[in-house]
């Protein structure tokens, strides 16, 4: 898959269903191809079921990016970051959205539907999708994430400061 493809998988639980619909409509209106894994109404569900779907799609490279929403964003972050190759960032301000892309190459954006207002949420989404990864020393740091799956301690430090 082309990492720059305008394709995004999105999922939420009931607590953020309303915001998911708003974000989804915005994405479609702005030319994104959206895979909505649910939930599809406000009946109570378990957020891991939907977090696993989106994180799985991103982890396997089926989608380059994902967006997850729950009440606080915390539960979805915890679930998503258990998946290999997933770097999920919970962002409730524009600076976090910007830096999670520039420095962390976040591939899943997480939002709390009970935390942010609709207008701020859409600005966070826009900023996150439009911001590129800076690479360089930041890539070297991300490479160290693989030490975790290899069972290494990752303590040696060879990257430049800054």
Residue nearest to ligand RB5 (CB): 75
Residue 70 annotated in active site:
yes
**Which residue, 76 or 105, is less far from ligand RB5 as judged by CB?**
76
**Of 32 and 121, CB closest to ligand RB5:** 121
Q: What is the DSSP string of 45-74?
A: --HHHHHHHHHHHHHTTSSSEEEEEESSSH
Of these, 24, 26, 53, 74, which contacts ligand RB5 (CB under 6 A)? 74
Question: Residues 6 or more apart from 15 whose CB is under 8 A from it?
Answer: 47, 70, 71, 113, 114
> Does 86 engage in binding with ligand RB5 (CB under 6 A)?
no
Contact call for residue 75 and ligand RB5 (CB under 6 A) = yes
| Catalytically annotated residue among 14, 70, 91, 138 | 70
48 binding ligand RB5? (CB under 6 A):
no
């Amino acid at each position: 898959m082309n990492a720059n493809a305008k394709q995004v998988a999105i999922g939420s639980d009931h607590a953020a269903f309303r915001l998911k619909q708003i974000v989804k409509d915005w994405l479609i209106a702005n030319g994104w191809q959206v895979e909505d894994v649910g939930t599809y109404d406000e009946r109570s569900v378990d957020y891991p079921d939907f977090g696993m779907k989106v994180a799985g799609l991103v982890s396997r490279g089926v989608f380059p990016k994902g967006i997850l929403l729950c009440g606080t964003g915390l539960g979805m972050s915890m679930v998503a970051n258990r998946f290999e190759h997933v770097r999920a960032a919970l962002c409730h301000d524009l600076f976090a959205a910007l830096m999670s892309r520039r420095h962390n190459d976040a591939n899943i954006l997480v939002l709390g539907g009970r935390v942010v207002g609709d207008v701020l949420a859409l600005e966070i989404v826009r900023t996150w999708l439009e911001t590129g990864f800076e690479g360089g020393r930041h890539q070297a740091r991300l490479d160290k994430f693989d030490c975790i799956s290899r069972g290494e301690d990752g303590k040696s430090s060879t990257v430049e400061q800054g």
